[in-house]
Structure 1
Amino acid sequence: MQGNFRKNIKPGLSVSIVEKQNQRNGELTTGIVKDLLTNSAQHPHGIKVRLTSGKIGRVKEIR
């Protein structure tokens, strides 16, 4: 599944995100989705989420 579509992402899912400061090097952070922050149905760079750890980033992989 792709992280570009809001319908694929639900709270409680395990995902890998790229945080704003890591966009250039592509370092991924893994965690559990707490909130969806992007309101549109899709986004070319990934749906922005907040993890249970409090980190915010765009979904690159759904695990």
Structure 2
Amino acid sequence: MDGNNRANIRQGAHVFIVQKQDQRTEKLTKGVVKDILTNSPTHPHGIKVRLESGIVGRVKQILS
């Protein structure tokens, strides 16, 4: 599943995100969703989330 639809993302979900500084390289960071920061139902670059580790980025792939 991709991370462009807010309805697909839940707190506690395991995801791959791309951080702002990694957008050009598309380097992915794995983590567990703590907070969903994007309010709109969709976003073309991915829904912005905060991971339990405190890292903020846009969801590229949802694992579970």
Same fold (TM over 0.5): yes
CA RMSD of aligned residues (A): 0.4
Gapped regions of structure 2 (runs ≥ 5): none
Runs of 4 or more above 2 Å deviation: none
Map 1:1-63; keep pairs closer than 5 Å. Answer: 1-63=1-63
Structure 1 CA distance for aligned equivalents of residues 9 and 48 of structure 2: 10
Structure 2 CA distance for aligned equivalents of residues 34 and 23 of structure 1: 21
The DSSP-based 3-state class of the residue aligned with 1:45 is: coil
The share of aligned pairs that are identical, in percent, is: 63
Structure 2 CA distance for aligned equivalents of residues 2 and 42 of structure 1: 11
What is the number of equivalent residue pairs in this alignment?
63
Gapped regions of structure 1 (runs ≥ 5): none
